[in-house]
Copies of this chain bind each other. A is one copy, B any other.
Amino acid sequence: MYVYGRNVLKEIIKAKYPVKNIFFTDSKKVDKTLNDLINLAEKNKYPYSFAPDKVLQKMSGISKHQGVVIDIGKEFRYADEEILETLREDATIVILDQLQDPHNFGAIIRSSIAADADLIVIPKDNSVEVTPTVIKVSVGLAFRIPILKVTNLSRFIEEIKKQGYWVYGADMSNNVYYKTDLTGKVALVMGNEGSGIREKVKSKCDALISIPMANDVDSLNVSVSAGILLFEIYKQKRGE
């Protein structure tokens, strides 16, 4: 899988994520930032080579590759289910039930790390996966948080409930998000763009929480709702 962009490479190196190769543009018009990146790759012993812009464009499928395309191997490296045992006490888990849009997924990954969440979970089927677009929209932050694919979200929710997590679903309800205690071991479930959280998954949640809205608007863009809720969790967990 070819991913691209300067922030993306920076995050890959920061995360010590293994790659097959880094392709830098062989154009003579290389600016300082790109040179710094080449030095950073060199210093961290990453394999790299140079290629014409046209080749970079063909690999990435995009002209705005910023002079950097990275071959990260066959597939994005998802986390194992054992990851649960390694999470800190009072972790925050973000569960995305059949999200479809790569821009929403990328933005939610970015917000998750910024709001100090510990794990993102998606279902194996009918869900957007970690694609080059998702990675780009996440400004490379997809490499900084474990992302787990599970076969059965309902079963996963049951499992973490046994481990002491409180599972909140974002949906219409009378529980205003900022009046709900969101501290401790918390999981937040966000639903699909059009249809929200599936009934079966919703029934597994401990509670549903809502963002009060004006003017009879009944929903927000899912990455916006996720951001609002994640930053409330982050705020409460810091005791503010």
Contact = CB atoms under 8 A, between A and B. Distances in A.
Interface of A: 103, 106-107, 110-111, 113-116, 137, 141, 144, 178, 211-215, 217, 220-221, 223-228, 231, 234-235, 238, 240
B217 A110 contact: yes
Contact of A223 (B106, B214, B224, B238): B224
A178 B240 contact: yes
A114 B214 contact: yes
Given A178-B235, A223-B221, A224-B224, A215 B107 contact: no
Chain A at the B interface: SS class: helix
Contacts of A215: 113-114, 116, 144
Contacts of A226: 224
B113 A224 contact: no
A111 B221 contact: yes
A214 B103 contact: no
Between A106, A116, A226, A231, the greatest number of chain B beta carbons within 10 A of the residue's beta carbon is seen for A231
Between A107, A144, A224, A226, the greatest number of chain B beta carbons within 10 A of the residue's beta carbon is seen for A224
B214 A234 contact: yes
Between A178, A212, A221, the greatest number of chain B beta carbons within 10 A of the residue's beta carbon is seen for A221
A193 to B, nearest CB: 11
A214 B115 contact: yes
Nearest to A213: B114
Contacts of A228: 227-228, 231
Nearest to A176: B240
A235 B211 CA distance: 10
Contacts of A137: 221
